[in-house]
Structures are given as C-alpha cells and as structure tokens.
C-alpha cells in the first residue's frame, strides 16, 4: 500500500501458495493497490512440479488465477525453463495463456540461472535466445515464428515518444539486446496466435518512431500525434486489422497507448493480448559485463545502495544477507 500511495506500479513476485490458501488475501492485495501478480508457473504437468518444486501445485496455481480474475488483478506467468525437464511444455503453456488472456497479461520464460539455490549443471541452461525463439516456432506450429521475437530494447523509441505525454516518465528499456526477447501476441477470434508485427510492420513503424524520438524535444504534441497516425497508416496490415480489431478501434488504441500507456489504454483489445518473452538472468557461466553495465533491474539495499540484479545475485547477495539478517534496520525516508 505504501508503494502504491507513492505512485509506484506494484508487482508481487510469488509462488502463489499463500494466496491459494487464503482467498481473502487476494481481496486485501487488490484493495492495497497491487497491480500485477508475477506468478511462478513451471508447467501443466505435475511431474515437473514434483521434480522442480517438490510437490504437486497445479490446483493451487489455477486457484490463484481464478482469484486474480475475480478481483481483476493482472497476472504474468513466469516459468523457470530447464533443458530436459520442462522445455516440452513451452507450447502448452503459451496456449494456456492464450485461453486465459482475459486476465493473464504476460508470459516470461526465465532459463534457470545457477546462483546458489540449485546444484550447478550448465547443460540444463544452454538456452540462447535464438534457440528459445526456434522452440517457440516449433511448439506453436509456426503461428509465432522465431523472427517474430525482438530484443527488449526495441521498446526504447516508443517510450521516448510516450514520455512527452507522461507526468511521471517511464524509465527507458535501454538494456543490452542480449538481455531478452519479446513480442505481444493477439489472440484472434478463432483462437489463433497473431504476433503484433503481423498487424503492424514493426520495422517500418519503429523506424519512423526512431527518427521521431531523435528530435522529440523540438516537436509539439499535435505534430507527434500526426506523425504517429501517419506511421500507423504506412505500417498497417489493413485487411487483418479490419477483420480482427476494426480500423477505428485500432487507431484509437495506438494513440491511447502513446498518450497514456497502460493496459487499460488497450480498451477492448486488452482482454485478447498478452506479452510473450524470455529473460535469461546471468550466472557465473554466462556473466557478461557489457550486459551488466546496461542493466535496467536493480536491487535497493537497506543502506540505500543500488546494485544491478545479476551482480547482486552472483556477487553481493551473501554479504548483504549476512550483514543485515536478524538485525533491525533504520530506513531513511
């Protein structure tokens, strides 16, 4: 509640067990201002849960999803991806999210990173992004192609444009292109998976946005909106957009997303779209200083130090935990 009152988007990373065991907790979380449940979800096969988490979990995970639907708390599912254990579940999990896209807003696969909580076996984490993308194509029968997934940093130009309309600007997604891949998937009326770049030519649209972002400070809002409208006109797959969304609805959505970028800005499309991506956190086998220098996810320590996520887990976590565990901490406000 404190973070919400300060104006933060609040995300709860959880295995969901407390919520499943105490349904009233979901109502309390909603009332406190929680925006997103970032839910551990390793597959739809109990054998995987028993191997990876030591027990059956599917009923509890489904209960959490139902409770979030009841209280309109958005969900992002987060499978820990392990070679030879649950990589055969990728397509099934994607289809599950598509069927529940009314409340599940995202699916982020995270290949296992060995930072002290599991026995090292680097062969279980030999995922690189093109192999993940190829597996997505294979497991969705080509509905999502490997080339439909883009580096996270593709979002930098549109966010620069959005910031001109925001009272509290978002941080830029200026991470290394090796930090993750992503796209938004639209669930068609007949249940097919349609990557957004099939509706809108990404390279053409984002190329125009890139040029706009380079001179954004000299542009007025009307000029920016006109440029966005023209960019959408030039990049649109007219027949598919007309069939699936409606042209007027689509243009209104594009403008709303750049003026007030929230899931609610998506309007009626909101319940039929989800984010699909993969982010591989680094361990000692994949540690890359160039990635680290451009990190966009940080830990804030009790003494108000700021440490990049992967540096914290690989280097600093033991000493920080040893320093502050079982001690009262006077936080500066």
Q: Across residues 299-324, what is the average pLDDT?
A: 92
pLDDT of residue 260: 60
142 in a structural domain? yes
Q: Across residues 133-149, what is the average pLDDT?
A: 96
Assign 34 a pLDDT band (cuts: 50, 70, 90): very high
16 in a structural domain? yes
End-to-end Cα spacing for the chain: 16
What DSSP assignment string belongs to 21-72?
H-HHHHHHHHHHT--EEEEE---S-HHHHHHHHSS--HHHHHHHHHHHHHHT
30-66 b/e (C-beta count within 10 Å ≥ 16 → b): beeebbbbbbbbbbbeeebbeebeeeebeebbbbbbe
What DSSP assignment string belongs to 209-259?
HHHHHHTGGG--HHHHHHHHHHHHHHHB-HHHHHHHT-HHHHHHHHHHHHH
100 in a structural domain? yes
**Residues 172-222: pLDDT tens digits?**
778 898 899 999 999 988 889 999 899 888 888 888 888 888 888 888 888
Range of the domain at 81: 2-198+266-324
pLDDT of residue 234: 87
247 in a structural domain? no
Q: 121: Cβ–Cβ under 8 A, 6 or more apart, which residues?
A: 114
Place of tokens 């080339």: 147
Assign 123 a pLDDT band (cuts: 50, 70, 90): low
Residue 284: φ, ψ to 5°: -70, -15
CB 176 within 8 A of CB 291: yes
Closest CA to 77 of 61, 88, 66: 61
**21-35, 49-63, 128-142, 249-263: range with lowest mean pLDDT:** 249-263
Tell me the C-alpha distance between 16 and 22, whole Å.
Answer: 10
259 in a structural domain? no
Number of domain units in the chain: 1
230 in a structural domain? no
Between CA 271 and CA 278, with CA 276 as vertex, the angle to 5 degrees is 155
**Residues 246-298: pLDDT tens digits?**
777 776 776 666 556 555 655 556 778 899 999 988 888 889 999 999 999 99
89-106 b/e (C-beta count within 10 Å ≥ 16 → b): bbbebbbbbbebbebbbb
Q: Across residues 27-44, what is the average pLDDT?
A: 96
Cα separation values, 310 from 113, 114, 292, Å: 10, 11, 7
Place of tokens 């804030």: 300
Tell me the C-alpha distance between 129 and 46, whole Å.
Answer: 27
CB 130 within 8 A of CB 255: no
Say if residue 122's pLDDT is above 70.
no
Tell me the C-alpha distance between 210 and 215, whole Å.
Answer: 9
118 in a structural domain? yes
332 in a structural domain? no
pLDDT of residue 255: 66
Instruction: With both helix axes pointing from N to C terminus, report the angle between 90-99 and 129-139 in degrees, rounded to the nearest 10.
Output: 60
Closest CA to 196 of 144, 255, 139, 262: 144
pLDDT of residue 203: 86
Residue 68, beta-bridge partner list? none
């Amino acid at each position: 509640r404190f973070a919400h009152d300060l104006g933060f988007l609040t995300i709860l990373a959880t295995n969901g067990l407390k919520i499943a065991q105490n349904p009233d907790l979901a109502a309390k979380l909603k009332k406190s201002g929680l925006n997103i449940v970032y839910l551990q979800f390793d597959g739809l096969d109990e054998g995987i849960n028993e191997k990876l988490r030591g027990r059956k979990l599917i009923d509890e995970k489904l209960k959490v999803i139902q409770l979030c639907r009841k209280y309109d708390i958005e969900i992002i599912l987060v499978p820990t991806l392990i070679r030879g254990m649950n990589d055969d579940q990728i397509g099934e999990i994607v289809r599950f999210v598509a069927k529940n896209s009314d409340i599940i807003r995202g699916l982020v696969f995270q290949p296992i990173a060995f930072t002290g909580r599991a026995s090292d076996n680097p062969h279980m984490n030999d995922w690189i992004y093109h192999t993940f993308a190829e597996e997505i194509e294979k497991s969705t029968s080509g509905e999502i192609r490997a080339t439909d997934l883009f580096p996270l940093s593709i979002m930098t130009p549109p966010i620069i444009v959005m910031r001109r309309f925001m009272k509290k600007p978002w941080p830029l997604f200026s991470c290394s292109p090796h930090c993750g891949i992503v796209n938004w998937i639209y669930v068609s009326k007949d249940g097919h998976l349609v990557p957004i770049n099939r509706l809108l030519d990404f390279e053409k649209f984002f190329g125009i946005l890139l040029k706009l972002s380079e001179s954004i400070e000299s542009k007025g809002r009307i000029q920016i909106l006109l440029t966005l409208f023209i960019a959408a006109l030039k990049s649109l797959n007219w027949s598919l957009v007309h069939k699936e969304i409606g042209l007027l609805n689509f243009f209104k959505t594009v403008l709303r997303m750049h003026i007030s970028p929230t899931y609610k800005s998506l309007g009626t499309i909101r319940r039929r779209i989800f984010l699909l991506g993969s982010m591989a956190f680094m361990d000692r086998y994949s540690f890359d200083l160039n990635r680290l220098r451009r990190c966009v996810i940080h830990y804030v320590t009790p003494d108000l130090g700021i440490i990049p996520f992967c540096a914290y887990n690989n280097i600093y976590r033991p000493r920080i935990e040893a320093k502050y565990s079982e001690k009262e901490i006077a936080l500066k406000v």
